[in-house]
Chain A
């Protein structure tokens, strides 16, 4: 399909299209050399440290050595986008094992790639949303968001009928809903076709996948928050503290680019629940919505519901004049 072909060529030179490697890739390659050197240098130091450690504690020696080993490898791994299939599986293996060692329970981290001929799109019916906020609860649970700072990807804005000014909207309503004379509008990451957040990232820790989902490599993010400043839609969130999720509430079905546990000092945001959507499911917010205000599907499929909405309802997007091309439309009955 023409669309996906175009996307393949904007890959920044990692595909087989034969384009010249750009500056960033050159830096990445150099870095991997430096990494290798650091690895070798560090290995001697590490072995000594491990020897000291195991001589102090005989019983936990083996375990803690394996753990330190994995932490070491994790620390020096590369950008997910540049990893080979084997490297991806290795890091996922380490993440799963580390979680098991630390918490005693198993998680399942996926590295499932985008499906062929799929470009995700989303539509939000502002006549249907009643402000029940079930979507936010589902999102927080699904995506292992920090409970202590009450991190939320979705915001529901209560607008007065006849206007759509976000400065006048009530984002903290807590009364019986729907309030008469008001309508409700949800915002989240819009997974723009021209995402400004991706443009500004100095380390290429965020990018647009082939199925249109804008993702973050949480282990490559340096926490500079340029992307947060660049996003015109308030779509990105920052972890100011170590995220806290009670162990029994952790969603164990995870994706490397999706809901795996984050750490302090990195960005995160809605990923259209990549761990769900790539296995055919709807994002958690769509599934939780009791009013059917949220519609999700494949934009490349002319038979899909989302395409029907785009072609048959009056749709609009926010700040269309910016040319960001959000893949998130609003419509009315």
Chain B
């Protein structure tokens, strides 16, 4: 009888004690948070645009690209000939080498609008602003765009606190050569090496 009471008492309370942090969060922390902290002051001077995927506006931002690009608008250089290529197009922007996908999949015109270089083109030929270039990347990289939208891919600007401004794809990846280059580590952990030798 005593045993039974003890067993019942043990089962009766502290149900929450068995929940892990993620389980507890799912159960208890599902209301929007009113923040008393933000990173607006750190975002000062960064022009941000609301992200738009498909037809819906998202609730996060990317920094505007058109205000950052040195060679934008194109008419800065193309003063007399206009924006339409006059000579051989392969000689234009000779320093850009495409190391992205095979030539079967993409060439310059897959993303760039030759008749209006100040905008990009979707697969179906619809105009995409340089500020919203993630829409272009997301056409093929659907997994990455899903993770980027959720927050598992990419990088926040400023901090963790609102508003959510994230790097757009081309701030980390060179669109013409998107893979990260191998390089040497920023430092050597010499102390552990020293200890190993002792």
Residues of chain A having any CB pair with chain B under 8 Å: 1-3, 115-119, 123, 125, 130-134, 136-137, 149-150, 152, 155, 171-178, 193, 276-282, 286, 289-292, 295-313, 315, 325, 327, 331, 333
For chain B, the bracket of interface size reads 35 or more
List 17 A-B residue pairs with CB atoms under 8 Å apart, sorted by A's residue number.
A116-B36, A123-B152, A130-B182, A136-B189, A149-B191, A152-B189, A172-B189, A177-B182, A276-B159, A278-B37, A280-B158, A296-B160, A297-B160, A302-B29, A302-B31, A303-B33, A333-B143
Cβ distance A85 to chain B, nearest Cβ, rounded Å: 17
A-side contacts of B127, CB under 8 Å? none
Residues of B within 8 A of A289 (CB): 155
Interface centre among B59, B150, B161, B187 (most CB of A within 10 A): B161
Please tell me if the beta carbons of B33 and A301 are within 8 angstroms of each other in the complex.
Answer: yes
A333 in contact with B182 (CB, 8 Å): no
On whether the beta carbons of B158 and A171 are closer than 8 Å, the reply is no
Tell me which residues across on chain A come within 8 A of B153, comparing CB atoms: 292, 333
Contact between chains at A299 and B21 (CB < 8 Å): yes
Any A CB within 8 A of the CB of B170? no
B80 within 8 A of A: no
Contacts of A136 in B (CB 8 A): 186-187, 189
B28 at the interface (CB under 8 A from A): yes
A50 vs B161: C-alpha distance in the bound complex, in angstroms? Answer: 50
A-B contact count (CB 8 A): 153
In the bound complex, CA of A171 to CA of B192 (Å): 8
Question: What is the predominant secondary structure among interface residues of chain B facing chain A?
Answer: loop
Whether B160 lies near A150 (C-beta < 8 A) is no
A311 to B30, CA, bound (A): 12
Give per-residue flags for B160-198: 1 if the beta carbon is below 8 A from chain A beta carbons, else 0: 110010010000100000001011111111111100100
Determine the chain A residues whose CB is within 8 A of the CB of B190 once the complex forms. Answer: 150
A331 and B152 contact, CB distance less than 8 A: yes
Bound-state CA distance A333–B141 (Å) is 13
Does B34 count as interface, using CB distance less than 8 angstroms? Answer: yes
Q: How far is the CA of A173 from the CA of B189 in the complex (A)?
A: 8
Q: In the complex, which of the residues B20, B29, B32, B192 contacts A172, with contact meaning CB atoms closer than 8 Å?
A: B192
CA gap between A299 and B24 in the complex, in Å: 10
Q: B161 touches which one: A119, A172, A175, A280 (CB < 8 A)? A: A280
| Given A280-B37, A289-B155, also A3-B24 (CB < 8 A) | yes
Minimum distance in angstroms from B172 CB to a CB of chain A: 7
Contact partner, B155, options A174, A292, A306, A331, Cβ 8 Å: A292
Q: How far is the CA of A178 from the CA of B183 in the complex (A)?
A: 8
Q: Hey, which chain B residues are within 8 Å of A2, CB to CB?
A: 28
Across-interface contacts of A177 in B (CB, < 8 A): 182-185
